[in-house]
Structure 1
């Protein structure tokens, strides 16, 4: 479970301060597909960057599975981030590497002493010599990459490069890469904004399938209401740096109780 409590983020300006997030409180249950929506400048992207500590909150805290992540730094923070995958709007792929190398990247840069072979006790792993560890690591990465290529339906594209892929295929590679370390949380920052409607639907179907099969918690930042209605079971609405509404998606959108929800849904607002 993710608990966000009294989260505030203030950017220091030359002669002023900019409050980007103001006293945010949210509960995100394990296995949720949780949408965070709002107009441009509401603080959505800053919030998701706080969840993996790409931005550090000014005050407040974030707990993941009972651990206050805002206290983590250095190696502890690196280990924590392996449990949080992230998908970006512009894919962020390594253009000089093949599809399979992009997916494997996060695993390949993991230090040998931190790498874990599934089913092997840590003490047993420590007793192995360097060359045996290298061999087992290579085999484990290849196995994991092949599993993920199958999950995202890109088995035939393993050896091609991102420049040879469509936008939807690139995003599938980005999803596979984000899942490589078997995270419990997957963050999606406007992950479908650069895609056409048909490709968006296929990516959303893939995310739903992954959520159902792995129970990974997915947090989606978006301004696209059709994305939230299609995939999210819960939603939080941000306006002017604050949460103005949160709850089950059908209830929040059905009530249309706030002006911001009406605006986001394209309704007519009478002031």
Structure 2
């Protein structure tokens, strides 16, 4: 579970002035959720997701993941913690000089031998290996993991292509595979479909939903696009002017909440849930 408690983020805005980007944010995200955070541009969405993995440190408040207050964690312990949190971005952030395989493997390749983990081998047995055995075992495990991820994101035929030869949707699939390489339990998506056309967006959303179902990874989706929340999020929080104005199950929030920002986001869109088709409040 992820708990965000009384989180506030302020930036300096000139001499002796502060800009409050997030104000007293409180959220609970259950394991296995696909949790949407939606709001207009400038509402504070991206800052919130960057606080969850401490790319931005909150000014005040707490972020608790599985009982650990990560705002108290620093140094090597923070680095280890971040391996459990994958992230994908709007503009892909791929390494253009590396092919698909190398991009996916990058996070695993830069892991030091002493810190590398091989599924099925405990830490004591791994320590007993000599340097060359460790290096060979690491290379074999990386190749195996990359093969698994290429199958998962349907890019086996593109494994030796470079990003410049890929479509936007294919680049985002590479980014998703790279984020999953270390087997994180949390996947953060910061406007991950905003740069894609509607057909490609649909394919990426279906992929994220399938990944959630197959791996049980918790996915947090930051977006300003109502159709993204409509299609994959079981829960949603609406953020406006740095504050959470609505939060809950997706159909409940958009059926029953009468706040102006919710009405503006929903408009006249029809959206689906497991229980049927719900029409938005206008």
For the aligned pair, the TM-score class normalised by the smaller chain equals over 0.9
Displacement of 1:121 = 1.2
Moved over 3 A (4+): none
- 2: CA distance between counterparts of 1:60 and 1:117? 36
The residue aligned with 2:4 is 4
Q: TM-score, normalised by structure 1?
A: 0.98
Alignment partners' CA distance in 2, 1:255 and 1:202: 30
Deviation by residue 1:145-198 (Cα, 9 ceiling, x = unmatched): 000000000001000100000000000000000000000000000000000000
Give the secondary-structure state (helix, strand or coil) at the position aligned to 2:143. helix
Matched ranges for 1:71-82 at <5 A: 71-82=72-83
Q: Provide the residue aligned with 1:238 in structure 2.
A: 239
5+ residue gaps in structure 1? Answer: none
Preserved contact between residue 246 and residue 257 of structure 2 (Cα < 8 Å): no
What are the residue-to-residue correspondences of 1:81-96 with 2, within 5 Å? 81-96=82-97
For residues 244 and 182 of structure 1, what CA distance do their matches in structure 2 show? 33
Give the Cα separation in 2 of the matches to 1:121 and 1:82. Answer: 18
- Partner SS for 2:146: helix
Residues 43-192 of structure 1 aligned to structure 2 (within 5 Å): 43-192=44-193
In the alignment, what sits opposite 2:197?
196
SS at 1:181's partner residue? coil
> Once the 2 structures are TM-superposed, how far is the Cα of residue 266 of structure 1 from its aligned partner?
2.5
SS at structure 2 position matched to 1:124: helix
State the TM-score, normalized to the length of structure 2. Answer: 0.94
User: Could you report, residue by residue, the CA deviation over 1:246-265 in whole angstroms, capped at 9, with x for unpaired residues?
Assistant: 00001111124110000111
**Which string of whole-angstrom CA distances, capped at 9 and with x for unpartnered residues, describes residues 58-97 of structure 1?**
0000011111111111111110110000000000000000
C-alpha RMSD of the superposition: 0.7
* Distance in structure 2 (CA, Å) of the matches to 1:246 and 1:121: 41
Residue 13 of structure 1, CA deviation:
1.8
Instruction: Give the alignment of 1:230-269 within 5 angstroms.
Output: 230-266=231-267
